[in-house]
Structure 1
Amino acid sequence: MNVDLSALHYIYLVFTLLILAVMIKKRDTTLVCIVGIFLLALVATNSLSSSIITVFNSFIYAIVELMGTILIISVIVAMSTILAKTGINELMISPFTKLIKSPALAYWVIGILMMIISWFFWPSPAVALIGAVMLPIAVQVGLPALAVAMAMNLFGHGIALSGDFIIQGAPKLTADAAGISVGEVISASIPLVFIMGVVTTVAAFIFIKKDLKSGKLKVDNGGPKILNKEDEEYKNVLSPKTKNTLAILVPILFAMDVVIMIVAKLQGGDATALVGGTAIFILILVSILLHKGKALEEITKYLVKGLKFGFEIFGPVIPIAAFFYLGDEGFIKVIGEFLPQNSQGLVNDLGIALANAVPLNRAIGAVTLTSVGAITGLDGSGFSGISLAGSVAKLFGSALGRGVSTLTALGQIAAIWVGGGTLIPWAVIPAAAICGVDPFELTRRNFKPVVIGLVITTIAGIFLI
């Protein structure tokens, strides 16, 4: 498996490192991303006008790719606005407040619930379900919204998605590329997923407790800032009986969604769409009861408010997503057929080059597979590069004479933890938006626990090969 790196690869690599450096410095990455997109297009097409066009088209491509996530967040915020305005949300969470009495309990309960739901339906619908109900409880007992977002990220997009034991989408892709059975990948990944999960979530919890104690992390109201002072007057419009009925009905409707997901075997985007559609009908029902004759206009206002929030959250992320999408199939779709022959995409080519550049033994093999997985996760998908991880694991395992399944599992875990929703800003947006926190700050908070977890897991992988 050989690949010749071109100027495009080196430009992409340099700007990736620049973007990471700018993010670490807590500065905005928009200008760096735009310059990177422009230079990639200029070198590829050798045309100034085409390069300028590419900058705009790359934004369009990123928006199209992210639109499903933008819409689910917008709809959930629109529904949450009217539930908060009427006080229904307070009634909904009141039973849970008796069970969750401390920030520590909130962190672990939210995380474990997120993990369980994500195993069956993947994290996107789980974020909407868990965030809407559990966030206010967590904030009420003293767990900051940022910590809630971390818990949902690490347990859902991290542990559940990297193992994918129930749906088995990830292990199927890596197993096929590695030439082994899905069962072998799952068996090899169980101890690694467990180690990665325990180390990362415990490390994150320790950092949260430390920062809460020092005052670096403070408890705020949590969630999107969607209410104004004048909204308080709506809390007494509905009768107590109506509000109590709706407080019972809303959770029942979402519970029915879970049943439908199980019976109809809905996963991923379809499961998310079911949650989003249910939220829209809840919004309509409560609007009709609250606003009566003005409901037609008010429903539209709530949706517009939700969409404004969605695009406000996604605005800073679109340029960086546009740049990293060019590392995969987005390059051909936005710029055109200008990649070198036999290229598998800029990100995958860099991963292959890394694999070819290192000597072989168990330690180097484990470190390389983790690195290859992490590099392929930079496009923010997590899934787009795991086939490459499987292919590289097959090569390394054949050379070592063992450990193909363990190496495959390592590459899969690294790719999904990095790209699936813990370290890439636009991948963490569902949790960030539901919790009303900055996605860039969330990735910075996730960075140290996830890196510690990857290091420990890679060391464990060396002994398991």
Structure 2
Amino acid sequence: MGVELTVIHWIYVLFILFIIGFMIMRRDTTLVCIAGIFLIAITATGSLSSSVSSIFTSFIFAITELLSTILVISIIVAMSRILTITGINDVMISPFTKLIRTPALAYWTIGILMMVISWFFWPSPAVALMGAVLLPVAIRVGLPALGVAMAMNLFGHGIALSGDFIIQAAPKLTADAAGLPVGEVISASIPLVIIMGAVTTITAFYLIKRDMKSGKLTAATGLTVDTPAELQSDASQQDLLSLNQKRFFALFIPVLFAADVAAMFALDLQGGDATALVGGTSIFILLIITLSAHRNKGLEKTTGYLVEGFQFGFRVFGPVIPIAAFFYLGDAGFTQMIGDFLPKNSHGIVNDLGVGLASAVPLSKEVGAITLTVVGAITGLDGSGFSGISLAGSIASLFAAAIGTGAATLTALGQVAGIWVGGGTLVPWALIPAAAICNVDAFELARRNLLPVTIGLIVTTIAAMFLL
């Protein structure tokens, strides 16, 4: 089980601490990430030219990995823009304004709906569906956009993805690595997911209410510098469509998205495929409404709205690409960015660190639970959530053999920790979909999530000790 930890591993750890420190101090991390990539590259290759080239290569890798997310966010924003300009958005959200009348109702309604949709289709398409319809409602009743992003993020990328009870991709990975039946890991994860979810979301809600009351959290908190086009109102153009046309499209759009949901069930579309369906439907909606509203100028206006969407998408993702590039170094991206310079038995920097930690601690139920949480969190630092949970399953199996019990519980605990950290609630670039749809700063969202998620992990780890 031994893994050789090299200077590269320790430089990576050092720069993670730097990044966390800069985030806490509310300073930009771009320069830190670029410096980390360069230092790791020159340590690995010993070549100045290769190290400089690695910075550019790492950016290309990060953009390639993030491109589908950037694209769907840009398209949703372009669609939202035409809905706002024509006044269709106001007609669409009017039924929800009767149901959601307070910030508390907005937080819990959006969160629970996000969780349910994410169970079936994973969070990315759910973010797109929820944000387009319910974000304006929540803002109107007084829940800041940052609070909406937290709700979507914690319930979707946190609760739904960490349990993954319906699609079962996460428990399948961890169960296979631990040599356990999938059903056993799912059963063991249910109390942990419930505890983690309840503690985290209730803590987050309390902090949101407290900060709203004190004035620390306002409608403008965390918003990106420019007010996004999709949240602006343009009353002068709301006569582009008649009231009957607005009502027709206000009904037609939910019907199309409902058809998407039905297609996801019928065709078993999940993750990226489901996101692509939502994105394609959004383009279809954009084209129909733009041609109906602008008529002769529809062709030119369509391009204009798409350009606005792409400008917004790349403006939001721009600051995230360097940090994404750095964190991708911790996983499979290392070989493609820098080359094959890790030890022969290496499974990636973050996985090596997790194995090294597991092999260095004495074993007991309590230490086992704490170690699996820490290992899960470390392997989640690459931002995917899924890449390291197989390692968590393997380590859980070894720990359970040494302790004599608790293989399924330890496996589930590592899965929960890995996905809550890496699946999109703490690593800044991983929570970009929710941040972009709500037009809030991803780093501010990560800072807001940090305390609730940390408290949740501590309570869940203690609970796991009693379940072993």
Per the normalisation by structure 1, the TM-score is 0.98
Q: Deviations over 1:88-120 (max 9, x none)?
A: 001000011111111111111100000000000
CA contact (8 A) 2:30 2:319 kept: yes
Distance 1:230 1:22 in 2: 36
Identity rate, percent: 67
CA contact (8 A) 1:121 1:267 kept: yes
1:285 aligns with 2:282: no
Query: Counterpart of 1:426?
Result: 429
1:298 shift after superposition? 1.1
Distance 2:296 2:451 in 1: 53
1:253 aligns with 2:266: no
Does the residue aligned with 1:323 lie in a helix, a strand or coil?
helix
CA contact (8 A) 1:139 1:220 kept: no
Distance 1:382 1:150 in 2: 18
1:142 aligns with 2:142: yes
Query: Counterpart of 1:218?
Result: 218
> Which of 453, 458, 462 is residue 455 of structure 1 equivalent to?
458
Structure 1: gaps of 5 or more residues:
none
> Which of 335, 338, 356 is residue 338 of structure 2 equivalent to?
335
Query: Counterpart of 1:4?
Result: 4
Mark the CA change 1:167 to 1:230 in structure 2 (over 3 Å): closer, same or farther.
closer
Mark the CA change 1:403 to 1:350 in structure 2 (over 3 Å): closer, same or farther.
same
Distance 1:237 1:209 in 2: 39
Distance 1:127 1:141 in 2: 20
* Corresponding letter in the other structure for 2:167: I
Equivalent residues in 2 for 1:203-352, closer than 5 Å: 203-220=203-220, 225-226=228-229, 231-352=234-355
Larger deviation, residues 216-225 vs 114-123:
216-225
Q: Deviations over 1:117-138 (max 9, x none)?
A: 0000000000000111111111
Distance 1:166 1:350 in 2: 31
1:220 shift after superposition? 4.7
Query: Counterpart of 1:378?
Result: 381
CA contact (8 A) 2:84 2:233 kept: no
Distance 1:50 1:94 in 2: 57
CA contact (8 A) 2:75 2:306 kept: yes
Query: Counterpart of 2:419?
Result: 416
1:70 aligns with 2:70: yes
Query: Counterpart of 2:370?
Result: 367
1:96 aligns with 2:83: no
1:169 shift after superposition? 0.1
1:229 shift after superposition? 8.1
Distance 2:312 2:402 in 1: 52
Distance 1:302 1:400 in 2: 60
CA contact (8 A) 2:171 2:185 kept: yes
1:227 shift after superposition? 5.8
* Corresponding letter in the other structure for 2:446: T
1:333 shift after superposition? 1.1
Does the residue aligned with 1:113 lie in a helix, a strand or coil?
helix
Query: Counterpart of 2:408?
Result: 405
Q: Deviations over 1:301-332 (max 9, x none)?
A: 11111001000000111000000101000000
Distance 2:232 2:282 in 1: 24
Does the residue aligned with 1:426 lie in a helix, a strand or coil?
helix
Distance 2:220 2:272 in 1: 31
1:232 shift after superposition? 3.0
1:456 shift after superposition? 0.1
Per the normalisation by structure 2, the TM-score is 0.98
Q: Deviations over 1:270-327 (max 9, x none)?
A: 0000000000000000110111111111111111110010000001110000001010
RMSD: 1.3
CA contact (8 A) 2:115 2:160 kept: yes
1:231 shift after superposition? 3.9
* Corresponding letter in the other structure for 2:286: L
Distance 2:250 2:309 in 1: 21
* Corresponding letter in the other structure for 1:167: I
Distance 1:123 1:343 in 2: 31
Query: Counterpart of 1:15?
Result: 15
* Corresponding letter in the other structure for 1:378: L
Query: Counterpart of 2:122?
Result: 122
CA contact (8 A) 2:85 2:233 kept: no
CA contact (8 A) 2:147 2:208 kept: yes
1:228 shift after superposition? 9.6
* Corresponding letter in the other structure for 1:323: F
Distance 2:284 2:375 in 1: 44
Distance 2:233 2:255 in 1: 30
1:230 shift after superposition? 9.3
Equivalent residues in 2 for 1:27-106, closer than 5 Å: 27-106=27-106
Equivalenced residues, count: 465
